[in-house]
């Protein structure tokens, strides 16, 4: 049976949100979702392209509605992106580990969002042996996958 974290990836359309001005864009998550055959839109107000793809400055600029969103933004921005995701009627949310705040989680709950947090999406979207696959193995052993 698939875990709640794994079920996040049954969606077809995603936005991956970063802020390159503060930290590197989450390329591994973005590329991993694309490699899974998903439609993925990069969202970052501080850059215009990633991997040759157009980057959108906000969710309201996306060419279509997305089912899921991965937030890999600075912790101080997480709550605002939860608000934006709620306004865009996105119900499936992944908040990258150590980026969640009580305020963001409370708002997401209030808005009826299905939130995954406390772990890294990369271990679910990248095949093969890597640091992320080791992390995945250890989480499975501990029952936290």
* pLDDT, position 136: 47
Question: Do 56 and 42 form a contact (C-beta atoms < 8 A)?
Answer: yes
Q: Name all domains of the chain by residue range, CATH numbers in brackets.
A: 4-142 (3.40.50.720)
Handedness of CA 100, 114, 122, 138 (dihedral sign): positive
* Mean pLDDT, rounded, for 19-25: 92
Average pLDDT, whole number, for the chain? 85
Pairwise CA distance, residues 71 & 144, whole Å: 20
Whether 69 shows a pLDDT value over 60: the answer reads yes
pLDDT band at residue 104 using 50, 70 and 90 as cut-offs = very high
Percent share of the chain, pLDDT over 90: 67
- φ, ψ dihedrals at 44, nearest 5°: -165, 115
Query: Whole-angstrom Cα distance, residue 74 to residue 67?
Result: 22
Per-residue pLDDT tens over the stretch 127-143:
544 444 444 444 444 45
């Amino acid at each position: 049976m698939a875990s709640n974290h794994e079920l996040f990836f049954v969606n077809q359309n995603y936005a991956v949100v970063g802020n390159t001005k503060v930290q590197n864009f989450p390329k591994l998550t973005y590329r991993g979702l694309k490699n899974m055959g998903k439609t993925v839109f990069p969202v970052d107000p501080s850059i215009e392209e990633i991997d040759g793809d157009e980057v959108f400055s906000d969710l309201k600029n996306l060419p279509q509605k997305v089912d899921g969103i991965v937030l890999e933004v600075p912790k101080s921005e997480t709550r605002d992106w939860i608000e934006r995701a709620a306004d865009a009627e996105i119900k499936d949310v992944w908040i990258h580990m150590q980026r969640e705040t009580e305020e963001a989680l409370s708002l997401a709950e209030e808005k009826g969002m299905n939130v995954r947090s406390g772990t890294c999406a990369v271990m679910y979207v990248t095949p093969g042996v890597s640091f992320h696959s080791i992390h995945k193995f250890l989480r499975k052993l501990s029952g936290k996958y």
